Amino acid sequence: MSGASEAGRSVWSYVLGRVLNAVPLVLGVVVVNFLLLTLAPGDPVTALVGDYPAPPDYVERVRQQYGLDRPLPEQLVRYVASVLRGDLGYSFANRQPVATLLLERLGRTLVLMLTTVVVASAVGLALGVLAARRPHSVTDAAATGFALAGYAVPEFWLGQILILVFAVWLQWLPAGGFRSVRESYEGFAALLDHARHMLLPMAALSFRYMAITTRLTRASLLEVMNTQYIVAARARGISERTILWRHALRAAALPVVTVIGYNFGFIVAGSALVETVFGWPGIGRLMYDSIFARDYPVLLGILLLVSVTVIVVNLVTDVLYSVLDPRVRY
Amino acid sequence: MDFGRLRRVLAACALLLPLAAALAQEEPVAGGTAIVVLGADPEHLNPGISTSYPVGAVGANIYSGLVRLNAEGRPEGDLAESWTVSDDGLVYTFTLREATFHDGTPVTSADVAYSMNEVEGPNHGRFLNAYQRIAAIETPDERTVVIRLSEPYAPLISLLTVFDAPVLPRHVYEGTDPLTNPANFEPVGSGPFRFSEWVRGERVEIVRNDDYFREDERALLDRIIFRIVPQDVARSTAIEVGEADLLWGFYLPPADLPRLEANPDVQTWQGITIPALYFVFVNTQSEGLSDPRVRQALMHAIDIEQIVEQAQGGLGQAASGPFGAGFAYAYSEETDYRTLYPYDPERARELLAEAGVSDLTLRFVYDSARSAFASAGEIMRDQLRQVGITLLLEPAERAVMVDRVYNRDYDLSMQSFTSGGDPAIGYHRIYLSAEPGTPFVNATGYSNPEVDELLAEAGALADQDARAQVYDQVLEVLARDLPVLVMFDELNTEAASADLRGMRTLLDQRDGLEFLWFAR
């Protein structure tokens, strides 16, 4: 009893330590992002004014309005101070608070991302196990081949091919959007409609992560299957099935968990492309639009959100480690 | 008599007859929803503070202006029932119709004056040109607006449309910052449609205004959904698979046109609405380009037809000169670029030799998002190589491109400009002397006091014949100096569901969606 609570306490103090460590990290991310963005060529005022000549005094007024006339260090200090107060700023292009914009989009991206992570991890794990059970068999070759293809094909290209085949030629699934605009469904029908719209973008987005997970599961499982304790388990007459599922997979899952966490960061980047191809109105799309508009506050907000997500996911991954591997202690 | 030909003509008639009969029988039907494609979310829905394309697309159908431009580009009254212009061209008097905003408040002259003075004057990039010449806006009574100019300005009426000077509700905006007023997101207009819903990144929905002041022109459709489709390939696909009904040329990739034309469920259209030109700016202050003979050589060395065919999907007509084909009064046969500067590499080599220029290397800067510009650049690189000029293609993201070109850090740059319905609105800025650094104003560094003076004169003349004479002189100078390599007039295009009717009833494709209906 006391041992368990001791272990519990140590996990929590570990988590607390990690969170405290993350604060300067996030601040650093904010500063670096701010500098990278503002030092990049291109002027948000040009994007704001449109494609028509505006008199210099008008441009100057817009610049003042958004604080762009201030020296860079002052802009940076003001921005960091407002982020610390929980204020992410005001979007130049959308004329709305950044937080409102992000919240509106976040849900849709999370639905897409979480489903992608779950499906890609589950399928990847299953394929990896299948391949590792009989190395160099036909199943293995098929799974490995699939993984190679998945690794090589870019998401946006795959997305376009999927649209061409399933939306244009076969007309089975919608070509884009996140629900039908012509019909307005309610209740379960609405849910089904969303699901139909999500199938193709999810497939485009998950292919790569499925592939990575397959390869890693296979490699890691093969390695574990050759270790002493598995050989010992076999010698004790434990069935192959029990060895695989109870002993080997648990050990082999460690690097896989790491990579699933790691994938999160990449899925955010990938979602920018996939969301644009499929017209999925999420964070990725917003990021894409904001780059062209030089909408710094929105871009900074998204980058901050992504950084925090990556930090949190890393933390969760590390904690999961201790659950999966009894040797890991904090 | 050529019977073979007659037979073909008769056969064609026989084929067309049922179609003609079907068209003749079609009576406008009310009801239904049309889905119109937008490439990006509007930033907000107030056309009074922005020249952005999507803002105008939605806003033009919710708000009204004093005038509207019909399909031929001629002004008609919108909120204005009629107007008179004083002989000296300085005083415009408008009489307003009886109309109400969507919240039931009547539209008065005070709304007009407020919109121009407080919102559009200070905040609208294009209306500013007119506003700088407006001395006063008077409202002697609720139905009368008097605009007094400090100097005559020919394009004034064209700048009083819903795109440049929408009439906003004063009672909603007064006492607030017009740039941040919540009504920019839930607009209250007096136009044929009311704002209904906006889901960012997905759609903007507007519904028919049953109290629209133009009783015989109330919208036929129940509602219009503007669907946001950011990727150009996906836009054509949306039309192809019936997920959208109308796609304007602004958002239609030319390369997809043949595919759409081949689809029986889709109708396509090509033509000129608001004249627009494609051209190549020449940095006249760059080494080797200051001599007009070099610029003439460039014009001779470029095969415009090939660029139109291969880069523009055939959507263009070789241009006649700096103001294109859109304005009869701004054209002269003697200075037609098609006869003055035909494709002639031999002549180009001669001119370069005369100017003593050899081994010229030029940087071609263009907006990397415009794939047609990239293709045009590749074609030009081949063509210029044949006269001994090396072209370095330097694609840049739009914001960077604008910075570079208007600060004159380039040699050649491809651009497209709309005329805005009048050469004085859209094209004068290209040729007027200006300091570097102002986006969309004089990128070439060309400066000629004579041209400055003549263009100012042409901008102030309302009489088209008198204007034509001034433009004749301008054309002569520009044809010789050639600060800009004018390429072609843009042919506009549109793709729509085969059964959609009533498009392009007004000049701007985005305007007049109340005339849309489905033949089913």
Report pLDDT digits (tens) over A47-81: 776 667 776 777 788 788 888 888 889 999 998 89
Rounded to two decimals, the ipTM of the complex is 0.77
Q: What is the pLDDT of residue A315?
A: 81
Is there a contact between B400 and A42 if contact means CB atoms under 8 Å apart? yes
HSE, side-chain direction, 13 A CA sphere, residue B174: 8
Is there a contact between A182 and B440 if contact means CB atoms under 8 Å apart? no
**In 3D, which of A62, A25, A4, A10 has the Cα closest to residue A304?**
A25
Reported as a single tens digit per residue, the pLDDT across A192-227 is 999 999 999 999 988 888 898 899 889 988 888 888
Q: What is the pLDDT of residue B16?
A: 52
Q: Is the pLDDT confidence value at B2 over 60?
A: no
What does the alpha-carbon distance between residue B158 and residue B73 come to, in Å, rounded to a whole number?
Answer: 9
Q: What is the pLDDT of residue A9?
A: 58
Q: Is the pLDDT confidence value at B6 over 60?
A: no
Q: What is the pLDDT of residue A329?
A: 64
**Lowest-confidence pick of B11-15, B208-212, B357-361:** B11-15
Q: Which residues contact B316 (CB under 8 A, 6 or more apart)?
A: B278, B307, B308, B487, B488, B489, B490, B491
Q: What is the CA radius of gyration of chain B?
A: 24
What does the alpha-carbon distance between residue A180 and residue A200 come to, in Å, rounded to a whole number?
Answer: 14
Q: What's the pLDDT band for A2 if we cut at 50, 70, 90?
A: very low
The nearest alpha carbon in chain B to A168 belongs to B241
Q: What's the pLDDT band for A1 if we cut at 50, 70, 90?
A: very low
A178 interface with B at CB cutoff 8 Å = yes
Is residue B494 within 8 A of residue B269, CB to CB? The reply is: yes
Nearest to B237 among A53, A55, A163 (CB): A163
Distance from CA of B126 to the nearest CA of A (A): 7
Q: Is the pLDDT confidence value at B244 over 70?
A: yes
Q: Tell me what the mean pLDDT of segment A95-105 comes to.
A: 88
Distance from CA of B393 to the nearest CA of A (A): 19
Is there a contact between A292 and B429 if contact means CB atoms under 8 Å apart? no
Start-end of H helices in B66-152:
109-114, 121-123, 127-131
Is there a contact between A46 and B122 if contact means CB atoms under 8 Å apart? no
Q: Is the pLDDT confidence value at B482 over 70?
A: yes
**In 3D, which of A115, A98, A82, A29 has the Cα closest to residue A309?**
A29
**In 3D, which of B215, B155, B218, B207 has the Cα closest to residue B33?**
B207
Q: Which residues pair with B38 in a beta bridge?
A: B228
Is there a contact between B243 and A175 if contact means CB atoms under 8 Å apart? yes
Q: What's the pLDDT band for B373 if we cut at 50, 70, 90?
A: very high
Q: Tell me what the mean pLDDT of segment A104-126 comes to.
A: 88
What does the alpha-carbon distance between residue A278 and residue A280 come to, in Å, rounded to a whole number?
Answer: 5
The nearest alpha carbon in chain B to A285 belongs to B201
Write out chain B residues lying below 8 Å of A174, CB-based: 243
Q: What is the pLDDT of residue B317?
A: 92
Is residue B145 within 8 A of residue B139, CB to CB? The reply is: yes
A17 interface with B at CB cutoff 8 Å = no
Q: What are phi and psi of B269, to 5 degrees?
A: -145, 145
Distance from CA of A180 to the nearest CA of B (A): 8
Q: What's the pLDDT band for B489 if we cut at 50, 70, 90?
A: very high
Task: Report the mean per-residue pLDDT for chain B.
Answer: 91
Q: Which residues contact A144 (CB under 8 A, 6 or more apart)?
A: A131, A214, A215, A218
Two tokens, residue B222: 């129940």
Reported as a single tens digit per residue, the pLDDT across B155-194 is 999 999 999 999 999 999 999 989 889 999 999 999 999 9
Is there a contact between B203 and A105 if contact means CB atoms under 8 Å apart? no
Task: Report the mean per-residue pLDDT for chain A.
Answer: 84
Q: What is the pLDDT of residue A270?
A: 75
A281 interface with B at CB cutoff 8 Å = yes
Q: Which of A181, A286, A299 to mutate to test the interface with B (most CBs of B within 10 A)?
A: A181
Is residue B218 within 8 A of residue B514, CB to CB? The reply is: yes
Is there a contact between A167 and B241 if contact means CB atoms under 8 Å apart? yes
Q: Which residues contact A311 (CB under 8 A, 6 or more apart)?
A: A22, A25, A26
Q: Tell me what the mean pLDDT of segment B381-396 comes to.
A: 96
Question: A residues 86-115 near B, CB within 8 Å?
Answer: 93-96, 101, 104-105
Write out chain A residues lying below 8 Å of B439, CB-based: 46, 49, 53-54
Report the percent of chain A where pLDDT is more than 70.
94
Q: Is the pLDDT confidence value at B4 over 80?
A: no
Q: Is the pLDDT confidence value at A18 over 90?
A: no
Q: Tell me what the mean pLDDT of segment A287-306 comes to.
A: 87
Q: Which residues contact B491 (CB under 8 A, 6 or more apart)?
A: B270, B271, B272, B314, B315, B316, B317
Q: What is the pLDDT of residue B461?
A: 87
Reported as a single tens digit per residue, the pLDDT across B40-99 is 888 899 999 988 899 999 999 999 999 999 998 889 999 999 999 999 999 999 999 999
Amino acid identity of residue B445, one-letter, is G
Give me the count of residues in chain B.
520
Q: C-alpha distances in angstroms, B440 versus B132, B138, B465?
A: 18, 32, 29
Distance from CA of B440 to the nearest CA of A (A): 5
State the DSSP code for B152. -
What does the alpha-carbon distance between residue A112 and residue A173 come to, in Å, rounded to a whole number?
Answer: 17
Identify the H or E element spanning B77. Answer: strand B75-77
Q: Which residues contact B287 (CB under 8 A, 6 or more apart)?
A: none
Identify the H or E element spanning A26. Answer: helix A2-39
Two tokens, residue A75: 């802009």
Two tokens, residue A37: 């963005």
Two tokens, residue B483: 């600060």
What does the alpha-carbon distance between residue B518 and residue B35 come to, in Å, rounded to a whole number?
Answer: 12
Q: Which position has the higher pLDDT, B273 or B471?
A: B471
Reported as a single tens digit per residue, the pLDDT across A319-330 is 777 777 777 666
Is residue B367 within 8 A of residue B338, CB to CB? The reply is: no
DSSP, collapsed to helix, strand or coil, labels residue B441 as coil
A60 interface with B at CB cutoff 8 Å = no
**In 3D, which of B441, B483, B440, B477 has the Cα closest to residue B458?**
B477
Two tokens, residue A82: 């407002």
Is there a contact between B43 and A93 if contact means CB atoms under 8 Å apart? yes
Residue with tokens 């960012």: B200
Is residue A58 within 8 A of residue B127, CB to CB? The reply is: no
Reported as a single tens digit per residue, the pLDDT across B318-353 is 999 999 988 889 999 999 999 999 999 999 999 999
Q: Is the pLDDT confidence value at B517 over 50?
A: yes
Q: Tell me what the mean pLDDT of segment B391-395 comes to.
A: 96
What does the alpha-carbon distance between residue B340 and residue B334 come to, in Å, rounded to a whole number?
Answer: 8
Q: What is the pLDDT of residue A330?
A: 60
What does the alpha-carbon distance between residue B469 and residue A29 come to, in Å, rounded to a whole number?
Answer: 63
Is there a contact between A58 and B122 if contact means CB atoms under 8 Å apart? yes
Q: Which position has the higher pLDDT, B380 or A112?
A: B380
Is there a contact between B399 and A177 if contact means CB atoms under 8 Å apart? no
Q: Which of A43, A52, A101, A184 to mutate to test the interface with B (most CBs of B within 10 A)?
A: A52
Identify the H or E element spanning B6. Answer: helix B3-25
Q: What's the pLDDT band for B25 if we cut at 50, 70, 90?
A: low
The nearest alpha carbon in chain A to B240 belongs to A168
Is there a contact between B35 and A279 if contact means CB atoms under 8 Å apart? no
